[in-house]
Chain A
Amino acid sequence: MSEIALTINGNLVKAEQGDTVLTAARKAGIEVPTLCDHPALEPYGACRLCIVEIEGMRGYPPSCTTPAAQGMVVKTSSPVIIDLRKEVIKLLLSGHTSPCLVCLHREPCEKYRPRPSKSGRATRCAFCSNRDGCELRELSEEYKIDDLEVPIIYKHLPAEHMDPFMDRDYNLCVLCGRCARICEKIHTTGTIAFVERGKEARISTAFDQPHAKTDCRFCGACVDICPTGAMSDRYAKWYGAADRTEDSTCILCPVGCSVRLKTKDGKVISSGMTAFTQDARICAVGRFVLPQLLDSRYRLTSHQIRVADGLIKTGYEEALDLAANSLKAYAGSQFAMIAPSSATREELYVLRKFTKEVMKSGSFIVEPAALPDAIAGGTVKALYALGDYLQDTRPKGLDVLIVSDMFPSRTEKSADVIFAVAGLVETDGTFLNAAGQIKTMSAQAAAPKMLLPDWKVVCDIAKKMGASGFDFQTSDDIAKEMATSKVKETPPAAPEPSPLDKVSAIPRMYRGHAMSDIVTAMRIFFTAQEKEEKEAAPAPPAEEGKRFRILEKSEIVPNTHMVTVHAPVIAEKCQPGQFVIAMVEETSERIPYTISDFDREKGTITMVTLEMGRSSRELANTTAGEYLAHFAGPLGRPVEVKKFGTVVLGGGCFGVGAILPIARVMKEAGNRVICVEEASSHYLLHWQDKLSQACDELVIVTKDGSAGMKGGIQEAISMLAERGEKIDQAYIIGCTFMMMLVCDVTRKLGIPTMTAMNPLMVDGTGMCGCCRVSVGGVTKFSCVDGPFLDGLQIDWIELMQRQAAFKLEEVQAIPQDPHPAHDHGIDHVCMRA
């Protein structure tokens, strides 16, 4: 290949014949922004961000698809190009849910809300799991975009949650095409592609089928390559950015793929391909199941020994002593060990050595070999099982049963000693895969409570039994001894068909456990028959005695759900400002919801909620006709209704609905009522008609300025004050952060301000004090003293800290099973600016 020379930004640079202008620039260390471009993909020319000026060429060609030529004169960042790129970015942002990028309150928002909220749909950056990894966001910062002149066009596509492991929301998609291209590159026949044309163009599967019904292998490449957050890993998404990345090997099947592990605080949050190539592809288990196995709530974390009463938790030394003492009495054919095939070479070496040299037995069995008759037949008196291999009851004649495992099992139930161990990517060493390659493990993940791997436990037992030759400190020590001894190793047989080619062929078992019992989202890959066996059809809920029927349920604007419940007793008595406690299931939390509307004649209560975690997702997933498990109220104190003069009612997000009943009574009491509705963008505005009817004036504010005034409720109140309104009282309902900012303004203006508290609650009836809030130095219970408390005196920082008390548990509580797609109805009329 011959070398060429060209001028970029006044510098003479060298490139190879065949390089694109973009490549030439990058080789010379000149940054050109891109989005659809990716090192793993061929140039595509879709996003137009990489446009440049080239002397003698018409227009502004994309550098990614323009071949570099000898003598070319290129400008990558001339004022014209910069201006054009800004326009390109604005156009891209108009197809993305990006109002937070231009919000006036972005800085304090990110300070006080350091992690995005766990929403069902990312309607804005503050609700987006990809907030901190978003390439659009980086671009908008680099090019200082502070205004969206082209309003966001929300596409109103359903949020897709119906597949295992991944969530998709194509409302965030900017059509860069990376996902479809990587899918095609890795699997040759891609699962996803562009469908429709022009402004209807979007990414989808053939006939819009869920991925589980296509030939998708769930390799996760699309999720990992998406720059926007349109595709996300359901399990990993709310844990935040990883603090460490390292490669290891997935040993859950003989293929033994390399995996790139991302960890946070020692915990694996995701496992992915080491490169975006066909050779590096991995299966659904390697990509999605592995991290969830390690973090399973069923994980064994304590050693146990049997006493007269049953199993008790115990220390490691005590368990070792009991194991060593119990085994001493047996030797030869009286002892057998069953080991998993998902083990490192070093581990298998030590286990075999222990069986042979310490126990003098030839019965070292590596699954999936069938259990020898010796165990069932009563010859074996002492058994060491490294997994759930007995399954049924303890064989007759067995005196000692030692179990070493990561999960509880049937085998464990009759064990005398149980060791909880580290496994899979928590161990180091090497793995001999079906291709005969020796793959390296990196012990990347920290095992819970510093548990030890199987080989270490067996070495410690051997030493307790007085055996020598088990003084290994690391896997490397074992490897050194293996190198000098003549160990015959044969690669395991490759699975047929390969799990890499067919999702139905993914590994199912680990240590004798069905992985789908631990990571239940896997069940969707089972055949219909298997599925039936696993999921005995749940009995249809008995409707008898159920009182709280859902009459209406809709997603009124994206991620904002309205639920109307038949509860005549509550509807008859409730007053504006009060709340209800709802439990969707018997296993749910008791969650408070502000009453957004009620109809005494029909006996209904209406709630509006954002989907923001497990409990609100449960409510968002209900449909009309179903029953809530529990519904109690009305709770809390109603607002004080009297003639104040001019009352401003400010509502944001779920609070928009909540100000409606207050507006009605305040108006009835003779007040001049001004409602302020705040939304991030025009596509989140709702109930303007209802509010207009209930008040004297409705002020609309949006964070991106796409409708009404640009700003928040605080800017609206300042504007009202400036134009001469004498505001006698303000009531504010919305998120804590917003209410805090509004109070900063009303305090300066001297406006008495009541704010609706939304702290954590348990019972909601004054029993527990979880919801306590400091108001002017005095502790109040929001549930019985509130929900409205004096916003000018609230200790907002304390309140926010208390709200964050269970941040990690809130992420862990989110169920990982697929759930229905949310479709908020295309009939929603997008309000134009």
Chain B
Amino acid sequence: MEQKEKEKKPKVPRQKMPEQDPRRRRSNFEEVPYGYTEELAVAEASRCLKCKKPLCITGCPVNIRIPDFIKLIEEGKFIEAAWKLKEQNTLPAVTGRVCPQETQCEILCILGKKGDPVAIGRLERFAADFERRSGNTKLPDLPPPTGKKVAIIGAGPAGLTVAGDLVMLGHKVTIFEALQVTGGVLVYGIPEFRLPKAIVQYEVDYLKRLGVEILTDYVVGKARTVEELFKEGFDSIFIGTGAGLPMFMDIPGENLVGVYSANEYLTRSNLMKSFRFPEYGTAPIRSKKVITVGGGNVAMDSARTALRLGAESIIVYRRSRDEMPARAEEIHHAEEEGVKLMILTNPVRVIGDEQGRVKAIECIKMELGEPDDSGRRRPIPVKGSEFIIECDTVIPALGNKPNPLIAMTTPGLKTTRWGTLEADPDTMQTSMTGVFAGGDIVTGAATVISAMGAGKKAAASMHEYLMTGKVTKPVKEEKEQEKEKKG
């Protein structure tokens, strides 16, 4: 059956997305890909087999009706395609850019079995961008108000998703954000060249137009506790405060001037716009040679930002290239721009001068041993292989721990030994009645889309809780389970 459908289709190759010349982009903060043109989008959409039982949807944490929106693109109904996306996804322009589609929806695409899968992410991005650029954003009709008030703590991807879903169900939604702008990791962590802040702002403005109230500069856990929010009349609360505490390497010399957490390095540039210093007041980190330690997307973001700030940029990673947790596309982009990778290398100490400023880093060569708990081969130091790299900046990009602020000030909330909040994986309900949580605060540092997926689950259970006072496991899933049993 699938084979038959495939035969009907003319052979159209997976369409490439035009990109900014790496020679140009390595010195600017403009977005790397230009996105599909209408022609390219229609051509790519035509490749979709519109499977009866689309596997791609099962790979999507927010269950976007993928074949439906792609069909609309193929028919030239671009705005309608954006609308189809927005039924499931509040932030399509964001997820179209930062989701690891290659391990989620696209990996399940039937076309991928014998060739290249449909470029679902690029099409998602195209539809969302088309709608935004058209200036023709329609607001959906909202149901009558339920009279219920919801507080969302943290305006990152999880919180924004919950806000979008609950406001569409008629609830009164207020988001509390500690920083001065909305977006969480989308604005402080992910650089402009990967996700333009204007796009985040546009999607946030859309929520505001739907009636979501956003209070920035509001530190819940300090200015108010969770209990106090209930006393102030909120009926349910969502905690999406993310994993914002940076981890360091715990090696000598880490407090030298010139060692910056990836969070600090990126926050200065992204949130505080230090690359526009002195128009913006926050000082930029001016380096000649930057060593970024780590192999994840944050390491790639830091190393590529370093290039754009005019430095020579090297990534030091203790395992091999295959174990790098970063998306393949990010590693490719980084190398294309001129970031150098030093794999199987681990820092031992940072060396400073008499002013306490970094002048070099000492590293040791590693080799791979047996697989560890994560299933990846464990890196083992090669004795006597220490060597020194001269540099003036070191950026540990080793991941983040959950933000402890809410847990510290909310006695009723149970946490795990990693400091994350305990929450039911299906309903996202925490140990406190009426309090739900999702995103990195529950999982530890993960992806934008998994946080949004958790937000969708939480929104569904919060709606049920608000309307009935109960939280049950998702009905759909039960049905599916029954089906499976019958099958």
Contact = CB atoms under 8 A, between A and B. Distances in A.
A309 B24 contact: yes
Contacts of A308: 21
A145 interface: no
Nearest to B273: A587
Given A762-B267, A762-B272, A307 B403 contact: no
A589 B216 CA distance: 16
B283 interface: yes
B28 to A, nearest CB: 9
A687 interface: no
Contacts of A813: 277-278, 281, 283
A766 interface: yes
Contacts of A547: 217
A101 B137 CA distance: 68
> Which of B180, B272, B273, B279 gathers the greatest number of chain A CB atoms within 10 Å?
B180
Contacts of B356: 797-798, 801-802
Interface string B243-257: 011101000001101
B268 interface: yes
A795 B188 CA distance: 30
Contact of B21 (A307, A631, A770, A797): A307
Contacts of A750: none
B283 A772 contact: no
- What is the predominant secondary structure among interface residues of chain B facing chain A? loop
B465 interface: no
B27 interface: yes
A784 B406 CA distance: 13
> Which of A769, A784, A795 gathers the greatest number of chain B CB atoms within 10 Å?
A769
Contact of A779 (B179, B254, B277, B279): B254
Interface string B214-251: 00111100111000000000000000000011101000
A767 B263 contact: yes
Contacts of B387: none
A521 interface: no
Contacts, number: 145
Nearest to A311: B24
Contact of A302 (B27, B258, B268): B27
A614 B278 CA distance: 10
Contact of B178 (A573, A762, A765, A779): A765
A819 interface: no
A302 B24 CA distance: 12
B261 A769 contact: yes
A566 to B, nearest CB: 13
B21 A762 contact: no
A765 B24 contact: no
Interface stretch (A20-28, A267-275, A410-418, A632-640): A632-640
A631 B217 contact: yes
B188 A633 contact: no
A765 B244 contact: yes
B281 A569 contact: no
Contact of A583 (B20, B180, B258, B355): B180
A806 B283 contact: yes
Contact of A589 (B217, B263, B264, B282): B282
A809 B282 CA distance: 9
Contact of B281 (A589, A631, A795): A589
A630 B217 contact: yes
B180 to A, nearest CB: 4
B296 interface: no
B19 to A, nearest CB: 9
A310 B272 CA distance: 27
Contacts of B223: 569-570, 573, 632-634
B281 A312 contact: no
Interface string A311-340: 111100000000000000000000000000
A312 B21 contact: yes
A404 to B, nearest CB: 20
B200 to A, nearest CB: 16
Given A310-B24, A798-B356, A763 B179 contact: yes
A281 to B, nearest CB: 32
Contacts of A632: 178-180, 217-219, 223
Given A569-B224, A767-B244, A810 B283 contact: yes
A570 B220 CA distance: 11
A774 B180 contact: no
A588 B283 CA distance: 11
Given A589-B281, A630-B217, A798-B255, A762 B268 contact: yes
B264 to A, nearest CB: 4
Contacts of A191: none
12 contacts: A573-B222, A587-B279, A632-B179, A632-B180, A633-B222, A633-B223, A763-B271, A765-B178, A765-B219, A765-B403, A802-B255, A809-B286
Top-4 shortest CB links A-B: A801-B356, A768-B264, A809-B283, A806-B283
Interface of B: 20-21, 23-24, 27, 178-180, 188, 216-219, 222-224, 244-246, 248, 254-255, 257-258, 260-261, 263-264, 267-268, 271-273, 277-284, 286, 355-357, 403-405
Given A630-B180, A798-B356, 7 more contacts: A309-B21, A311-B24, A314-B23, A586-B180, A632-B180, A768-B263, A797-B356
